Structure 1
Amino acid sequence: MKKLLISVGCALSLVAGQALADKWDTVRIAVDVPYEPFEYKKPDGTLTGFEVELGNAACEEIKAKCEWIVQAWDGIIPGLLARKYDAIMSSMSITAERAEKVLFSEGYYNTPTAWFGKKENASLDVTSKDALNGKTIGVQRGTVQDNYATENFGSVADIKRYSTADDLVLDLQGGRLDVVVLDFPVGEQTIMNDDKYDQIGERFQLGEGIGMAFRKRDKELAAKFNAALDKLKKNGTYDTIMKKYFTYDIKI
């Protein structure tokens, strides 16, 4: 009887072990779209972009299928915690405040932040409260740029927050914003493609880089992606994908 119980126990352990091994055969990854060139939809509706391609390559390394889920930015962490998906790979800056809620991967890229506006405002000193006094500044809600603008200029300027970068750009082009502050690659592709607009001032860095976000209990999944991303950096796959979208190095 004891041997039978031991055999049954071993069998259950093997089943449980196999279930654990198979747990991540599909990984549901959330992205906020559009956020070109990191994640956006092609005309046929399929998702693409730097992070989508990098995520698919990482999933291939861990022998899992990526299932991409579009989620608005202001609900992206709550959605992760509610188990609507398993990870976030959507240009999320690693910050101490977010790290209280989620488990971050190692940083996999860092890009500069920049101010953008009409070329006629090219001489505007975007580091000066006096210069920005009474101006209307556009940011994407809940980003490090939102925090930066609010903390440094919220007392003198009107900070307007948007759910998507596209809405922010539309209001800039519609004359409802004086300047905007966002990731430089996003502004480069969505604002500077119009010759009436340009970067204002110097580029600068915010945050500790960009990482994937996981639920804190999913340490195994985070470790798998850390190992996969590291391998992609070493074998040249990361660089190949990066060069499709950027003319400069964003790798950490």
Structure 2
Amino acid sequence: MKRQLISLFCAGFALLGSNQTLADNSYKIGISDSFQPFNYRDAQGQLKGFNVDVANALCTEMKAKCEFVVMRFPQIIPALENNEVQFAPANFLITAERAKKINFSAKYYRSTTSLIGSADKAHLDPEQVLKDMNNKVGTQKGSAQNRYLVEHAHTQVIELSSIGEGLSKLNKQEIDYLIAPTLFALNFLQRPENSRMDFIGEPINNPTLSGTVHIGITKQQPELQQEIDSALAALVKQGKLRQIINQYFPFNVY
């Protein structure tokens, strides 16, 4: 498995190379790069997004040296389990299965889940759509949405490596619908080139697909959970988290 390391500076410290052992108060951060506006690359190939800015702010608050490790979403939990990365702002909803493998921070935003597809089907009930065996529904492998489809839907479930791949297949009409976090779908639907797409009905009403979102933390460094929670609380109190939210979303998602 090839991973691309993206280095960043936090708290004025020079970062270590990817083949070096990180010292105390130095962390590797697991993140994907195909989940706009949360984490993506700009035209210059630089890592950008809401999760990137939150991670940078946390590292500054903790006075830590941090290094992003870019990987696909399904690889993040195993990397946390093995302490290959120490934390990951990867849009995690807490589930019992995940809690056996990793620790979680306090919330850093709230999320719901929506179905997106052709605008001429926007009037449909998503629950009915997911009962139709003829429908092909894309989902990111390893996500809460993936698990929900496998356990509850009667459609053809198309597992994808990333939401970005799902959007590409949706545009090419290789799948009929894509199930994704509402905030991500909103960003996609606001682009002029996607005007023929829309939300299908209202967000899906299921507790496993909505709620507070948390940063994943390795269990091998239990003290890090409190450190991140303290830093998050400081960002909230200082108004810095709200400033980051306002850069990416048209309403408060905390």
TM range (shorter): 0.7 to 0.9
The question of whether the paired residues in 1 share the 8 Å contact of 2:81 and 2:219 is answered with no
Pair 1:148–1:192, CA change in 2 (3 A): farther
Question: Once the 2 structures are TM-superposed, how far is the Cα of residue 171 of structure 1 from its aligned partner?
Answer: 0.7
* Equivalence for 2:185: 187
Unaligned runs of 5+ in 2: 1-21
1:123 and 1:233 mapped to 2: Cα distance? 38
> Which deviates the most, 95-104 or 73-82?
73-82
Q: CA deviation at 1:192?
A: 4.5
TM-align CA RMSD: 1.8
User: How does the TM-score come out when normalised to structure 2?
Assistant: 0.84
1:169·1:191 contact (CA, 8 Å) conserved in 2?
no
- Which residue of structure 1 aligns with residue 17 of structure 2? none
**Aligned twin of 2:41:** 41
Task: Work out the CA distance in 1 between the residues paired with 2:42 and 2:55.
Answer: 17
Displacement of 1:53 in angstroms is 0.6
Instruction: Indicate the structure (1 or 2) with the bigger Cα radius of gyration.
Output: 1
User: If the length of structure 1 is used for normalisation, what is the TM-score?
Assistant: 0.85
Q: CA deviation at 1:42?
A: 1.4
1:149 matched residue in structure 2: 149
Q: Match for 1:195: what amino acid?
A: S
1:27-70 alpha-carbon deviations (Å, 9 max, x no partner): 11000111111111111121111111111111111100221110
**Kindly, what percent of the aligned residue pairs are identical?**
28
Amino acid at match of 2:234: K
- Greater shift after overlay, 189-198 or 67-76? 189-198
Aligned residues: 228
Equivalent of residue 219 in structure 1, options 195, 206, 222: 222
Which structure 1 residue ranges, 5 or more long, are not aligned?
A: 1-21
Question: What is the deviation of 1:237?
Answer: 0.4
1-side partners of 2:219 and 2:226: how far apart?
A: 12
Q: Which amino acid aligns with 1:36?
A: Q
The 3-state SS of whatever aligns with 2:127 is coil
Cα distance in 2 for residues equivalent to 1:131 and 1:79: 35
1:91 paired residue number = 91
**Alignment deviations for residues 102-146 of structure 1 (CA, whole Å, 9 cap, x no partner):** 111112111221110001112222112685332111111111111
C-alpha distance in 2, partners of 1:192/1:117? 14
**Is the CA contact (8 Å cut-off) linking 1:132 and 1:157 kept in structure 2?**
yes
Task: Determine the C-alpha separation between the residues in 1 that align with 2:41 and 2:225.
Answer: 26
Offset of residue 81 of structure 1? 2.1
- The runs of at least 4 consecutive aligned structure 1 residues that moved more than 6 Å come to none
